[in-house]
């Protein structure tokens, strides 16, 4: 085989791996639009977009973590906790912008604790983030006494309910953030370090990369993004729910893997994660449209996740 043929074949293979999931997404959309005439309506598409905008943002962080070879199960609790703290504070004291920044700060701080425990204290990432997940589930209920916190101030609701040329702002935020993070991961030193650490942490360390510091930073980023997701969700709904992020750990990891990000680190890109999130969103909306009880969603999500990991494993063999 000539050099150029070899080169074009490898890049074609890469594209096909990404395109396969895109085809699954398009296939699902076609099936549901046949089953339900309302599925392809603009309103429903916006609704899907709004649903995935929050988990989509969480998925950016989860992608970065997975690319470095770790993952975070506390994303949902952090989103829920920060959402409820910001809602609670804004309701009682106003000053939304200040509370917004404060909320993100809490997320970053939780990420810092996660990162220190994992990178410095060498506690297993699964256990650390599982523990933190439970801690902040509990803390969420403590802050709110177990009730949702409703806030009706226009400032609080700006991010979640504004429309630009009739497109909901969260969808625009989502797309812009994916563009930005794609550029960062693809073209910057930071991105290169992320992929290198995921590819072989020991080789990266011996090449002079501060792997521990990078991992801590990744968890801080993840915490901040999760917090932002949670605050955005509360803003859209006008209230912060105590169980807001319960499905995020599974769904965010599932979406990333579905989109071709290797659970072992170093392989994949965030467009894959976006496709993965979209598949989960479409599945959810579609199942509602055809009047399936919502429990089926959980079953479908679980099955989709296992299939995704199976495909990932098989591709690598």
- Size (the chain), residues: 317
State phi, psi for 168 to the nearest 5 degrees.
Answer: -60, 135
Four-point Cα dihedral 86, 87, 92, 97, nearest 10: 50
Which helix (DSSP H) or strand (DSSP E) does residue 111 occupy? Answer: helix 96-115
Q: Which stretch binds another protein (CB under 8 A): 79-87, 135-143, 148-156, 181-189?
A: 181-189
Cβ nearer to another protein, comparing 162 with 200: 200
Q: Which two tokens stand for residue 151?
A: 């806030």
Residues between 249 and 268 with contacts to another protein, criterion CB under 8 A: 266-267
Cβ nearer to another protein, comparing 96 with 193: 193
Residues between 187 and 206 with contacts to another protein, criterion CB under 8 A: 187-190, 192-193, 195-196, 199-200, 202-206
Q: Which of 92, 134, 153, 207 binds another protein (CB under 8 A)?
A: 207
CA distances 188 to 181, 191, 207, 233, Å, are 10, 5, 17, 30
Q: Which stretch binds another protein (CB under 8 A): 28-36, 148-156, 184-192, 299-307?
A: 184-192
If binding is defined by CB under 8 A, does position 10 make contact with another protein? yes
If binding is defined by CB under 8 A, does position 124 make contact with another protein? no
Minimum CB distance to another protein, residue 55 (Å)? 27
CA atoms within 13 A on the CB side of 139: 19
Q: Which two tokens stand for residue 78?
A: 């952090």
Binding residues for another protein, rule: CB under 8 A, are 3, 6-7, 10, 187-190, 192-193, 195-196, 199-200, 202-210, 266-267
């Amino acid at each position: 085989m000539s050099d150029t043929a070899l080169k074009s074949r490898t890049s074609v293979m890469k594209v096909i791996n990404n395109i396969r999931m895109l085809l699954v997404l398009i296939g699902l959309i076609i099936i549901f639009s046949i089953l339900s005439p309302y599925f392809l309506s603009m309103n429903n598409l916006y609704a899907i977009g709004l649903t995935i905008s929050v988990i989509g943002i969480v998925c950016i962080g989860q992608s970065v973590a997975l690319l470095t070879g770790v993952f975070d199960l506390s994303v949902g609790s952090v989103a829920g906790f920060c959402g409820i703290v910001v809602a609670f504070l804004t309701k009682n004291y106003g000053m939304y912008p200040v509370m917004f920044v404060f909320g993100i700060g809490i997320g970053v701080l939780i990420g810092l604790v996660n990162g220190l425990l994992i990178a410095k204290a060498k506690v297993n990432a699964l256990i650390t983030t599982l523990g933190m997940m439970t801690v902040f589930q509990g803390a969420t209920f403590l802050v709110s006494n177990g009730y949702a916190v409703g806030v009706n101030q226009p400032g609080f609701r700006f991010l979640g309910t504004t429309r630009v040329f009739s497109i909901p702002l969260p969808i625009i935020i989502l797309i812009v953030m994916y563009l930005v993070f794609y550029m960062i991961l693809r073209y910057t030193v930071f991105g290169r370090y992320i992929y290198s650490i995921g590819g072989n942490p020991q080789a990266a360390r011996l090449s002079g990369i501060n792997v521990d510091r990078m991992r801590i930073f990744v968890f801080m980023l993840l915490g901040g993004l999760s917090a932002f997701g949670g605050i955005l969700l509360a803003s859209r709904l006008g209230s912060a729910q105590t169980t807001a992020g319960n499905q995020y750990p599974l769904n965010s990891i599932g979406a990333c893997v579905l989109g071709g990000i290797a659970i072992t680190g170093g392989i994949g890109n965030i467009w894959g994660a976006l496709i993965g999130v979209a598949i989960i969103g479409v599945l959810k909306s579609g199942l509602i449209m055809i009047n399936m009880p919502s429990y089926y969603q959980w079953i479908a999500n679980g099955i989709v996740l296992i299939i995704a990991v199976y495909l990932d494993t098989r591709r690598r063999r």
